[in-house]
């Protein structure tokens, strides 16, 4: 498996992805897992795949560690894989789906909120679900849908917010819920790894009056379980296609 993360100049991000890769190996002993990054940190996914092919690998599952399907999964990663296929036509590439959306990510969000002192499903707590935000309307719509579905778990309410590219901002969402009379407002960080956006969201949310801000998802057990699920799913799709290269980003 070559797991592909967004990448960040913040060294905490690569360390978190490396920790997640270790958690995946613990769940699936014997499975080689190589972390890679689209930006800012080595190795790039094409370099990781080149190394595997050069060592004689016949097949690889490329798994996007991305929480929504947006530009990176729809444009950047397919471009990388097309270049690799041109160089290594004998390397069978199976491309898994992005991590989100999936119920296991909701479980991971609640785990992280619990670690921040927020009781899952507390009827007196309203939640702001904060994602990075995207210029892709479909990616933002996924966050709106996730927020709607999450309300059924007992919260006073769940609303989406975005760190960039869309609105409301986390501060706007926190203020709106407080103005609407929510006794407590907690912010759920829908980020895989720490970095600029996660730090910005935390600072702005607390300044706006949030009671708690959860840590990033990181190597939560549910995230590691989801990575294994997406890996198995990609192989099953390939088998159903008769062994032909399968792409399901």
For 44-96, the pLDDT digits (tens) are 999 999 999 999 999 999 999 999 987 677 888 999 999 999 999 999 999 99
Burial 154-184 (b: 16+ CB within 10 A, else e): ebbbbbbbbbeebebbbbbbbbbbbeeebeb
pLDDT at 246 over 50: no
Q: For 113-127, how does the pLDDT look when each residue is reduced to its tens digit (9 = 90+)? A: 999 999 999 999 999
Per DSSP, the residues of the chain read -EEEE---SSHHHHHHHHHHHHHHHHHSTT---EEEESSSSSPPHHHHHHHHHHTT--EEEEEE--SS-SHIIIIIHHHHHHHHHHH-TTSEEEEPPPS-S-HHHHHHHHHHHHHTTPPTT-TTEEEEEEE---S-HHHHHHHHHHHHHHGGGS-SEEEEEESSSSSS-HHHHHHHHHHTT-SEEEEEE--SS-SHHHHHHHHHHHHTT-SEEPPP-TT-HHHHHHHHHHHHHHHHHHHHTTT---B--
* Whole-angstrom distance, CA of residue 188 vs CA of residue 212: 9
What pLDDT shows up at residue 243?
Answer: 55
Residue with tokens 């210029």: 135
- Residue 245 — pLDDT band, cuts 50, 70, 90? very low
Main-chain dihedrals φ then ψ at residue 192, nearest 5 degrees:
-75, -40
Which tokens go with 7?
């990448």
Mean pLDDT of 151-173: 97
Cβ(157)–Cβ(189) under 8 Å?
no
Which tokens go with 120?
């899952």
- Residue 34 — pLDDT band, cuts 50, 70, 90? very high
Determine how many CB atoms are found less than 10 A away from the CB of residue 220.
22
* Whole-angstrom distance, CA of residue 2 vs CA of residue 246: 15
Residue with tokens 């296991």: 104
Give me the torsion for CA of 39, 42, 44, 47, rounded to 10°.
160
- Residue 202 — pLDDT band, cuts 50, 70, 90? very high
Residue with tokens 């969000």: 109
pLDDT at 134 over 50: yes
């Amino acid at each position: 498996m070559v797991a592909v993360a967004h990448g960040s100049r913040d060294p905490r991000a690569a360390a978190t992805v490396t920790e997640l890769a270790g958690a995946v190996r613990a769940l699936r002993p014997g499975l080689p897992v190589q972390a890679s990054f689209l930006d800012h940190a080595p190795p790039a996914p094409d370099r990781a795949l080149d190394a595997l092919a050069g060592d004689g690998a016949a097949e690889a599952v490329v798994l996007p560690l991305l929480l929504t399907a947006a530009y990176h999964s729809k444009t950047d990663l397919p471009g990388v894989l097309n270049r690799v296929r041109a160089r290594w036509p004998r390397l069978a590439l199976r491309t898994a789906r992005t991590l989100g959306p999936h119920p296991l990510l909701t479980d991971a969000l609640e785990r992280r909120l619990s670690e921040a002192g927020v009781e899952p499903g507390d009827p007196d707590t309203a939640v702001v679900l904060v994602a990075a935000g995207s210029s892709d309307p479909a990616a933002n719509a996924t966050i709106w849908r996730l927020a709607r579905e999450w309300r059924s778990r007992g919260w006073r309410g769940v609303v989406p917010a975005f760190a960039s590219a869309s609105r409301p901002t986390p501060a706007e969402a926190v203020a709106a819920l407080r103005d609407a009379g929510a006794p407590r407002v907690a912010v759920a960080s829908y980020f895989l790894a720490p970095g600029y956006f996660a730090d910005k969201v935390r600072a702005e949310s607390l300044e706006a009056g949030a009671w708690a801000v959860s840590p990033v998802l990181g190597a939560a057990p549910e995230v590691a379980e989801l990575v294994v699920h997406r890996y198995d799913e990609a192989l099953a799709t390939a088998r159903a296609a008769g062994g032909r290269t399968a792409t399901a980003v």
